C-alpha cells in the first residue's frame, strides 16, 4: 500500500491570505486529532510530496514528520494506520489563514494533564494547559471568539473595568437561551420588550414561564422606555432584557437610560460584576444588538450594561451561510455560568462555522459601511412613495428615536476619533429598514405580502445581514408566534415589511422596491396570496 494513501491530511487551497488573530492569541496546545488546514500559502502538502517521491516515501520515518513526537509506535498494520494520528509537517501552522481543527478530542501529555484539565471550572477560553474536549472549547472556535471580544471592545488589558470574553454558540437563539438559563431560576422575574425577536418571545412564553420564571413585557422604545422598565421592577427581577434596534420595528432603546433606572432601584453595577449570578441582587442588563453589530453599537461601553448578545448568523458572518451566536460580558462568574450551559445543554459553535464566522468578520467594517450607504437611499425613496404610510430607519429625520440614534450609531469610529477627523468613516445607520404600507387590516396585510412577492432584485427570505438584500413580512413570518395584541402594542403593524439592505448597487435596489410598490397601485396588486 502506498504510504501517501495513509496520510490523513487534507489541504484546500483558498485564495485568501490576509492576517487573522495573532498566533499568540491562540492557546498553544492545539493537538486536535483532525486539523484541516485551509491555506493558500502552505508549503507543498504532505500528500503531494509523498506521492511525488513514490515508493521512497515508504521509507520515511513517520515520527520525524510529527510536530510533537509521541511515544507511540510507528503503525504497521492497515487498520492501525487507518486509526492512527498523522500530523502535518512542521511549518504548516504558519499558514496565514487559520487552521480549522475538526477534532472532538485532544492529545494529553500524560494522565496528570488529563486530570488537571478535568478539574477546571467552565471558562470561556482555555489556558496554556490546552484543550481537552471540543464540547468545552476548541481552537478554531476560540480564535473567532477572541476576535468578537476584541470587536466588542472588552480586550483591553489596561481597562479598569477588567477584561471580558465572548462565547460562541451554534445559533443566535442558543446564545440568548444560554444567557437566560445561566441566570434565571424558578421564582425569579425577568422583563422583556414587547418587540423582541419572535424566537426569544417563544422561548420566554413556552419555556421560561413554564419553568416558574415570572415575566413582564414592556414597551421599551424611545424616551419612555426606561420609565416603563422601572415600573416593572420587582425585588426578584434578575434579568432586564433589551433588543435594540428592535426587530422588526427598528425602534431604539435608551440603553444608558435603562441602566440608569436599574442603578437607581438596585444600586450601581461596580461591586457586582464579579459576583456569582445567584448572589447578586442587581439584575443583569442584557442587550441583543444583532441589528447594529459592534460596528455601530458597543453596548458594553455603556456603564451598567452587563451582557451583549448577537445572532452572528447576520451581519457578523455576513454571507447567509452560517448559523451562529455570540455572548460577551465582563462578568467572569456570569460567563462561567454561560459556559456551563454551553457544555451541558447547548453546544459551542462548530469548527467550520467558526472559521466562516472569522472569515466574515474580516470584512465587517467595509460591509457595514456599504449596508448603511445603500439603506439611506432606499429609505428616502420609500418615504416619498404614496403607498407607504411610514418608514422606520434611524438615519431619517422622521424616525421617532432620531436623537437616540445619533448617540448610538458609531459607524466604526474609534474612541480616539473626533467627528471631524479625516479618517472617521461617514456616519451611517445600518442596513435594516422597516416600513408600513398604506391601508388597514386585511388590505394592509395583502398589500404587504404582494410588495414582497413583486420584488425581483431583493430576495423574499427571512434572516438578514447578508451581502444580498432580503425582504420579509414579520406579521406572517418571523413574528407570527407573538400574540397580535402584543405585536400591535409594540408597534408591529400588520402591514409592516422588513428589509435587510445588502451590498448591491443602490440604484438597482431603489428601482426594484419602487417598481414593486408602483405595481400595488392598482387593483391587481390586491388579488393574490
Number of residues forming the site for ligand PLP (CB under 6 A): 14
Tell me how far, at minimum, the Cβ of 314 lies from ligand PLP, in Å. Answer: 7
CB atoms within 10 A of CB 224: 14
Binding ligand PLP (rule: CB under 6 A), the pick from 199, 318, 337, 351 is: 199
Q: Which stretch binds ligand PLP (CB under 6 A): 170-178, 368-376, 384-392, 452-460?
A: 170-178
What percent helix, strand, coil does the chain show, rounded to 5?
Answer: 40, 15, 50
434: Cβ–Cβ under 8 A, 6 or more apart, which residues?
248, 249, 250, 391, 392, 393, 496, 497, 498, 499
Binding ligand PLP (rule: CB under 6 A), the pick from 88, 179, 242, 290 is: 290
The yes or no reply on residue 20 touching ligand PLP (CB under 6 A) is no
User: For ligand PLP, which is the closer residue by CB, 348 or 439?
Assistant: 348
d(CA 489, CA 477): 18
Tell me how far, at minimum, the Cβ of 248 lies from ligand PLP, in Å. Answer: 8
Tell me how far, at minimum, the Cβ of 464 lies from ligand PLP, in Å. Answer: 6
d(CA 486, CA 193): 10
Tell me how far, at minimum, the Cβ of 84 lies from ligand PLP, in Å. Answer: 38
Binding ligand PLP (rule: CB under 6 A), the pick from 88, 195, 237, 247 is: 247
d(CA 490, CA 194): 5
Tell me how far, at minimum, the Cβ of 243 lies from ligand PLP, in Å. Answer: 6
**What DSSP string describes 156-211?**
-TT-TT---EEEEESSHHHHHHHHHHHH--TT-EEEEESS--HHHHHHIIIIITTT
Q: Which of 247, 323, 334 is nearest to 286 (CA)?
A: 334
The yes or no reply on residue 323 touching ligand PLP (CB under 6 A) is yes
Q: Which stretch binds ligand PLP (CB under 6 A): 31-39, 165-173, 300-308, 490-498?
A: 165-173
The yes or no reply on residue 173 touching ligand PLP (CB under 6 A) is yes
Q: Which of 525, 518, 221, 514 is nearest to 379 (CA)?
A: 514
HSE toward the beta carbon, residue 18, CA cutoff 13 A: 6
The yes or no reply on residue 243 touching ligand PLP (CB under 6 A) is yes
The yes or no reply on residue 470 touching ligand PLP (CB under 6 A) is no
The yes or no reply on residue 454 touching ligand PLP (CB under 6 A) is no
The yes or no reply on residue 465 touching ligand PLP (CB under 6 A) is no
Inter-axis angle of helices 139-151 and 351-361, nearest 10: 30
User: For ligand PLP, which is the closer residue by CB, 127 or 206?
Assistant: 206
Q: CB nearest ligand PLP: which residue? A: 172
Q: Which stretch binds ligand PLP (CB under 6 A): 127-135, 166-174, 255-263, 520-528?
A: 166-174
Over the Cα atoms of the chain, what is R_g? 26
Residue 471 φ/ψ, nearest 5 degrees = -135, 140
The yes or no reply on residue 288 touching ligand PLP (CB under 6 A) is yes
Determine the straight-line distance between the first and last CA of the chain, rounded to whole angstroms.
Answer: 63
Tell me how far, at minimum, the Cβ of 463 lies from ligand PLP, in Å. Answer: 6
User: For ligand PLP, which is the closer residue by CB, 124 or 198?
Assistant: 198
Q: Strand, helix or coil at 44?
A: coil
Instruction: Write out the residues near ligand PLP by the rule CB under 6 A.
Output: 171-173, 197, 199, 243, 247, 288, 290, 311, 313, 323, 325, 463
Amino acid at each position: 500500500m502506498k504510504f501517501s494513501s495513509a496520510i490523513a491530511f487534507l489541504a484546500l487551497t483558498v485564495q485568501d491570505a490576509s492576517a487573522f488573530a495573532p498566533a499568540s492569541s491562540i492557546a498553544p496546545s492545539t493537538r486536535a486529532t483532525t486539523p484541516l488546514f485551509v491555506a493558500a500559502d502552505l508549503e507543498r502538502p504532505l500528500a503531494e510530496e509523498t506521492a511525488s517521491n513514490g515508493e521512497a516515501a515508504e521509507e520515511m520515518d513517520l515520527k520525524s514528520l510529527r510536530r510533537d513526537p509521541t511515544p507511540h509506535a510507528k503503525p504497521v498494520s492497515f487498520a492501525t494506520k487507518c486509526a492512527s494520528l498523522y500530523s502535518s509537517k512542521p511549518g504548516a501552522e504558519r499558514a496565514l489563514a487559520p487552521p480549522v481543527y475538526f477534532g472532538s478530542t485532544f492529545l494529553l501529555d500524560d494522565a496528570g494533564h488529563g486530570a488537571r484539565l478535568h478539574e477546571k471550572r467552565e471558562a470561556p477560553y482555555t489556558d496554556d494547559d490546552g484543550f481537552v474536549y471540543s464540547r468545552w472549547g476548541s481552537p478554531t472556535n476560540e480564535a473567532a471568539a477572541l476576535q468578537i471580544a476584541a470587536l466588542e471592545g472588552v480586550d483591553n488589558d489596561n481597562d479598569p473595568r477588567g477584561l471580558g470574553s465572548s462565547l460562541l454558540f451554534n445559533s443566535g437563539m442558543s446564545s440568548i437561551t444560554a444567557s437566560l438559563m445561566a441566570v434565571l431560576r424558578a421564582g425569579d422575574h425577568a422583563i422583556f420588550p414587547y418587540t423582541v425577536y419572535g424566537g426569544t418571545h417563544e422561548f420566554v412564553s413556552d419555556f421560561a414561564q413554564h419553568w416558574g420564571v415570572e415575566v413582564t413585557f414592556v414597551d421599551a422604545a424611545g424616551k419612555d422606555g426606561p420609565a416603563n422598565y422601572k415600573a416593572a421592577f420587582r425585588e426578584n427581577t434578575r434579568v432586564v432584557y433589551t433588543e435594540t434596534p428592535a426587530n422588526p420595528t427598528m425602534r431604539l432603546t435608551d440603553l444608558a437610560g435603562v441602566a440608569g433606572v436599574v442603578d437607581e432601584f438596585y444600586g450601581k453595577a461596580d461591586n457586582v460584576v464579579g459576583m456569582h449570578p445567584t448572589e447578586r441582587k442587581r439584575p443583569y442588563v442584557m442587550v441583543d444588538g444583532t441589528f447594529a453589530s459592534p460596528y455601530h453599537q458597543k453596548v458594553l461601553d455603556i456603564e451598567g450594561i452587563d451582557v451583549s448578545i448577537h445572532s452572528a448568523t447576520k451581519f457578523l458572518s455576513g454571507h447567509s451561510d452560517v448559523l451562529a451566536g455570540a455572548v460577551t460580558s465582563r462578568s467572569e462568574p456570569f460567563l462561567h455560568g454561560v459556559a456551563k450551559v454551553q457544555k451541558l445543554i447547548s453546544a459551542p459553535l462548530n469548527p467550520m462555522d467558526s472559521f466562516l464566522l472569522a472569515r466574515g468578520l474580516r470584512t465587517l467594517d467595509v460591509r457595514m459601511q456599504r449596508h448603511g450607504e445603500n439603506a439611506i437611499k432606499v429609505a428616502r425613496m420609500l418615504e416619498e412613495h404614496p403607498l407607504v404610510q411610514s418608514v422606520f430607519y434611524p438615519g431619517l429625520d422622521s424616525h421617532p428615536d432620531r436623537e437616540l440614534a445619533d448617540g448610538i450609531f458609531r459607524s466604526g469610529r474609534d474612541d480616539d476619533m473626533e467627528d471631524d477627523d479625516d479618517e472617521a468613516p461617514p456616519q451611517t445607520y445600518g442596513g435594516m429598514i422597516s416600513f408600513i404600507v398604506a391601508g388597514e387590516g386585511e388590505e394592509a396585510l395583502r398589500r404587504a405580502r404582494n410588495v414582497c412577492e413583486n420584488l425581483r432584485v431583493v430576495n423574499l427570505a427571512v434572516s438578514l445581514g447578508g451581502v444580498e438584500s432580503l425582504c420579509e413580512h414579520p406579521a406572517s413570518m418571523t413574528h407570527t408566534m407573538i400574540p397580535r395584541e402584543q405585536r400591535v402594542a409594540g408597534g408591529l403593524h400588520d402591514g409592516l415589511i422588513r428589509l435587510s439592505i445588502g451590498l448591491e448597487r443602490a440604484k438597482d435596489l431603489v428601482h426594484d422596491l419602487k417598481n414593486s410598490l408602483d405595481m400595488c397601485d392598482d387593483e391587481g396588486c390586491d388579488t393574490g396570496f
